[in-house]
């Protein structure tokens, strides 16, 4: 039996005066890739923020069996990396500097970057094909290039759990395929990957799916399971259908 | 590459500061040759030599160094404020902290003039006339403390009014409101204590004319302290530039870090305002000028902005003495005119894509 990396029990969360998540419970297995999908406004990003500890909530979130709130921030940051949706990208810093910020959880205050930090940054930059522009400032990059730098920043943390909110935003098809390769590499090294995705055909490559609507989880199951496909079609009002194609599952509009 | 460029600019700014210091010592109502002759030939006329020495040592050197230190403090505060609020328009003035600092100074001034008035005729108990530009250690430190308190209060008020730093527009609006309200309160204090009005006038316009060695020492001391604090907090500012949520996810202690930054910001602004009065736009322009030539991390940006602020204010001070010589302009008036023009240009450039886009 696989152990659970992140477990959320009876989560409710608010943004301002509006309750966004209602009584959500889920368990994300260790070393697996879980995709969170659902229509706009379903609460996917909010759920991801709650799981990262960025948003206060009612209920209980556990990271490897320990209550998330009881883990010191730095320790938590070493184990759990988060890539936000349309976050700022520090236009004045160089690509290298931004990715090096991903090493902050591992560095002592004021300490110079160690060999391990340099190696992690180099690895993150090469795996997102951003190595060539490491000395350019982020402000000079296009939207897709910037997204790859931010992804490299999250990879550089080398956390055991990586949560990504719309990581494919602005990426062209070749780089979307590269991202899939990066995720597979992470899974091979035992990292737990969680992603919020709007690209359903991409999400169908994941091991498991969490399907959300209106602040609740409507279904959680194996991505290849027909029951998951039916739930997916239902949550999008049967406007899409899941088909097999070239040994993959694809979502096509009806 | 950026590292070499940044260190080159750092050395260039230091060299410029030395050059301007030499120029600053020479410019004034007593011309360069009138000073040089007696200093080079001290035996010719000992009286002249003593006077020339006094002009250089007691008046021009401290005010020139003081202009550098005040500019350096404002540049440092500006770079920190822009990083902390993630807003290129943040500046000690626009967030109301300078108005808070001047309110603190006005209150102390009014209280001291009041106390002196009771003991007789605008004199302190030790018989010296009290002024906002007094040179005693106690006066300087007292005024700096009051300015620090006022600045801190103003920034906290701005933050409370704007409900955090997320909304740029609300933050700037809150800063303007706090600035106007505290400015009005300063005027009320002065109306209530007319004796301090004249002393305050030069102060409100911003002037380096009365900076003595004590004021210089206070500013340089605070600058050293603030620079160390800046170096300690710089990496956190880098983290914050990725957005609040990402900074939080990286495990940065945002609340204590913000408080520390606000305290350093207020201390730097307060120390500058207490010695030289309200000098506008140096804090805003210095980081922008640095960023327009080199993009770098906050550690270097803070240091370079500080050096840039020092050079800017020293240049403005020399210009203010020279423009309508033998009279002199209050340097605050000059920086307001030049800085205002620079801000308009930045905005103009910003609307055409670039520049001020946050």
**Can you spell out the DSSP letters for A82-129?**
EE-SS----TTSBHHHHHHHTTGGGSPTTPPP-HHHHHHHHHHHHHTT
Torsion angle in degrees (nearest 10) through CA of A71, A76, A78, A80? 140
What residue in B sits closest to A149 (Cα-Cα)? B242
To the nearest 10°, the Cα dihedral for B232, B238, B239, B244?
110
For residue A240, list its beta bridge partners.
A253
Rounded Cα distance between B202 and B207, Å, is 6
Burial class (CB within 10 angstroms; exposed 0-12, middle 13-18, buried 19+) of A90: buried
Judge: A54–B249 Cβ closer than 8 Å, yes or no.
yes
Which chain A residues contact residue B230 at CB under 8 A?
A: none
Residues of A in contact with B242 (CB under 8 A): 87-90, 98, 101, 153
A82 contacts in chain B (CB < 8 Å): 245-246, 249
* pLDDT for B148: 82
Q: Is the Cβ pair A110, B232 closer than 8 Å? A: yes
Q: What pLDDT does B1 receive?
A: 58
Contact B242 A135 (CB under 8 A): no
Contact A76 B301 (CB under 8 A): no
Q: Is the Cβ pair B86, A88 closer than 8 Å? A: yes
pLDDT on residue A36: 92
Interface pTM, i.e. ipTM: 0.88
- Mean pLDDT value across residues A83-98: 80
Which of A206, A193, A189 shows the shortest CA–CA distance to A5?
A: A193
Q: B151, B175, B150: which is closest to B161 by C-alpha?
A: B175
Strand order, beta sheet including A18-29? A18-29, A4-15, A58-63, A66-67
Backbone angles phi, psi at A53, to 5 degrees: 85, 20
Pairs of residues, one from chain A and one from chain B, whose beta carbons lie less than 8 Å apart: 78
Q: Which residues of B touch A89 (CB under 8 A)?
A: 242
Percent of chain A's residues with pLDDT above 70: 98
Give the separation between CA B240 and CA B264, rounded to whole angstroms.
17
Contact B295 A49 (CB under 8 A): no
Average pLDDT per run of 10 along chain B, which is 358 residues long? 81 89 73 64 70 75 88 92 81 78 84 58 40 64 82 87 72 86 88 75 76 85 93 88 87 84 85 83 88 86 93 89 76 84 78 46
Q: Average pLDDT, whole number, for chain A?
A: 87
* Cβ-nearest to B291 among A49, A72, A92: A92
Contact A23, A10 (CB under 8 A): yes
Nearest one of B165, B8, B141 to B81, comparing CA atoms:
B165
pLDDT confidence of residue B307: 94
| Phi, psi for B56 (deg, rounded to 5) | -70, -50
Closest by CA position to B264, among listed B140, B53, B121, B78: B78
Interface of B with A in 240-269 (CB under 8 A): 241-243, 245-246, 248-253
Chain A residues within an 8 Å CB radius of B296: 92-93
Mean local confidence (pLDDT), A193-204: 89
Residue A29, strand partner residues: A4
- Give A-chain residues touching B297 at CB under 8 angstroms: 93, 97
**CB-CB neighbours of A228 under 10 Å:** 22
Chain B: closest CA distance from residue A98 (Å): 8
For residue B274, give the nearest of B181, B123, B121, B138 by alpha carbon.
B138
- Which pLDDT value is given to residue B132? 54
The pair phi, psi for residue B20, each rounded to 5°, is -65, -35
Residue with tokens 């309160």: B185
Query: Minimal Cα–Cα distance from B142 to chain A, Å?
Result: 33
The Cα–Cα gap between B43 and B303 comes to: 44
Task: Judge: B239–A104 Cβ closer than 8 Å, yes or no.
Answer: yes
Instruction: Point out the residue among A81, A87, A139 whose CB comes nearest to the CB of B242.
Output: A87
* CA B286 to each of CA A40, B15, B90, B292: distance values in angstroms, whole numbers, following the listed order: 44, 17, 12, 10
Retrieve residue B296's tokens: 């770098």
Shortest distance between the Cα of A231 and any Cα of chain B, in A, equals 32
d(CA B268, CA B84): 15
Q: What Å distances lie between residue A138 and A96, A99, A135, B89, CA to CA?
A: 9, 11, 9, 20
CA nearest to B86 within chain A: A90
Flag if B297 and A104 touch (Cβ within 8 Å): no
- Are B238 and A101 in contact (CB < 8 Å)? yes
Per-residue pLDDT at B120: 35
Cα B263 to Cα A74, A154, B84, B152, B272, distances in angstroms: 24, 31, 12, 7, 14
Contact B241 A93 (CB under 8 A): yes
Note if the pTM is more than 0.90.
Answer: no
B347, B355 Cβ separation under 8 angstroms: yes
Torsion, Cα B27 B28 B32 B38, to 10 degrees, reads -130
Chain A positions in Cβ-Cβ contact with residue B1 (cut-off 8 Å) = 135
The pLDDT of residue A192: 92
Mean pLDDT, residues A171-176: 85
Min Cα–Cα distance to chain B from A70, Å: 13
Q: Which of B246, B257, B301 to mutate to test the interface with A (most CBs of A within 10 A)?
A: B246
- Chain B CB contacts of A87 below 8 Å: 242-243, 245-246
Contact A88 B291 (CB under 8 A): no
C-alpha to C-alpha distance for B121 and B123, rounded to whole angstroms: 5
CA-based Rg of chain B, rounded to a whole angstrom? Answer: 21
- The count of other CB atoms within 10 Å of the CB of residue B145 is 16
State whether B242 and A54 contact (CB < 8 Å). no
Contact B249 A81 (CB under 8 A): yes
Higher-confidence residue of B85 and A76: namely A76
CA of B229 vs chain A CAs: smallest distance (Å): 12
CA-closest candidate to residue A9, choices A26, A29, A34, A28? A26
Provide the 3-class DSSP secondary structure of residue A167.
Answer: coil
Using CB atoms, pick whichever of B238, B245, B250 lies closest to residue A93: B238
Q: What is the pLDDT of residue B350?
A: 64
Query: In Å, how far is A77's CA from the nearest CA of chain B?
Result: 5
**H or E stretch including B44?**
none
Three-state secondary structure readout of A116-160: HHHHHHHHHHHHCCCHHHCCCEHHHCCHHHHHHHHHHHHHHCCCC
Between positions 87 and 116 of B, the ones with CB within 8 A of A are: none
Among candidates B232, B241, B250 on the partner chain, residue whose Cβ is nearest the Cβ of A88: B241
A-chain residue closest to B250, CA distance: A77
Among A69-78, A106-115, B5-14, the minimum mean pLDDT is found in: A106-115
């Amino acid at each position: 039996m696989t152990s659970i990396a992140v477990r959320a029990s009876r989560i409710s969360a608010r943004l301002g005066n509006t309750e966004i998540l209602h009584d959500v419970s889920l368990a994300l297995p260790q070393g697996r890739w879980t995709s969170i999908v659902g229509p706009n406004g379903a609460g996917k990003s909010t759920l991801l923020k709650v799981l990262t500890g960025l948003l206060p909530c009612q209920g209980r979130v556990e990271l490897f069996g320990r209550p998330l709130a009881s883990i010191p921030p730095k320790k938590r940051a070493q184990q759990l990396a988060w890539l936000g949706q349309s976050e700022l990208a520090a236009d004045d810093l160089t690509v290298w500097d931004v990715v090096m910020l991903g090493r902050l959880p591992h560095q002592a205050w004021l300490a110079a970057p160690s060999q391990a930090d340099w190696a992690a940054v180099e690895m993150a930059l090469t795996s997102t094909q951003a190595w060539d522009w490491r000395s350019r400032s982020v402000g000079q990059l296009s939207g897709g290039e910037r997204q790859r730098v931010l992804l490299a920043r999250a990879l550089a943390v080398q956390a055991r759990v990586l949560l990504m909110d719309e990581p494919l935003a602005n990426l062209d098809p070749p780089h979307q395929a590269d991202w899939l390769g990066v995720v597979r590499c992470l899974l091979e090294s035992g990292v737990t990957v969680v992603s919020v995705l709007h690209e359903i055909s991409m999400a169908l490559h994941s091991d498991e799916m969490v399907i959300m609507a209106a602040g609740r989880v409507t279904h959680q199951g194996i991505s290849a399971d027909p029951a998951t496909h039916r739930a997916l079609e239902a949550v999008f009002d049967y406007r899409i259908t899941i088909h097999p194609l070239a040994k993959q599952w694809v979502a096509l509009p009806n | 590459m950026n590292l070499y460029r940044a260190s080159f600019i750092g050395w260039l700014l230091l060299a410029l500061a030395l050059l301007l210091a030499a120029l600053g010592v020479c410019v004034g109502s007593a011309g360069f040759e009138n000073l040089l002759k007696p200093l080079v030939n001290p035996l010719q006329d000992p009286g002249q030599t003593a006077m020339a020495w006094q002009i250089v040592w007691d008046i021009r050197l401290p005010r020139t160094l003081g202009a550098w230190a005040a500019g350096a403090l404002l540049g440092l505060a500006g770079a920190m404020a822009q990083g902390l609020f993630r807003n290129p328009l943040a500046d000690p003035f626009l967030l109301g902290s300078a108005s808070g600092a001047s309110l603190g100074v006005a209150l102390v001034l009014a209280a001291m003039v009041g106390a002196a008035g009771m003991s007789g005729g605008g004199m302190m108990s030790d018989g010296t006339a009290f002024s906002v530009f007094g040179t005693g250690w106690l006066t300087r430190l007292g005024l700096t403390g009051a300015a620090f308190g006022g600045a801190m209060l103003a920034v906290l008020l701005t933050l409370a009014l704007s409900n955090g730093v997320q909304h740029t527009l609300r933050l700037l609006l809150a800063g303007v409101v706090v600035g106007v309200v505290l400015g009005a309160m300063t005027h009320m204090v002065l109306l209530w204590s007319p004796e301090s009005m004249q002393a305050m006038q030069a102060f409100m316009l911003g002037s380096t004319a009365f900076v003595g060695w004590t004021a210089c020492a206070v500013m340089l001391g605070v600058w050293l302290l603030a620079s160390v604090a800046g170096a300690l907090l710089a990496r956190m500012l880098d983290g914050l530039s990725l957005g609040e949520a990402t900074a939080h996810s990286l495990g940065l202690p945002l609340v204590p870090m913000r408080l520390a930054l606000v305290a350093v910001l207020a201390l730097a602004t307060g120390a500058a305002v207490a010695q030289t009065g309200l000098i506008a736009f140096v804090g805003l322009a210095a980081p922008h000028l640095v960023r327009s030539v080199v993009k770098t991390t906050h550690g270097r940006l803070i240091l370079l902005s500080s050096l840039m602020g020092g050079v800017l204010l020293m240049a403005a001070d020399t210009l203010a003495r020279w423009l309508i010589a033998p009279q002199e302009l209050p340097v605050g008036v000059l920086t307001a005119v030049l800085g205002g023009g620079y801000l308009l240009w930045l905005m103009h450039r910003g609307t055409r894509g670039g520049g001020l886009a946050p």
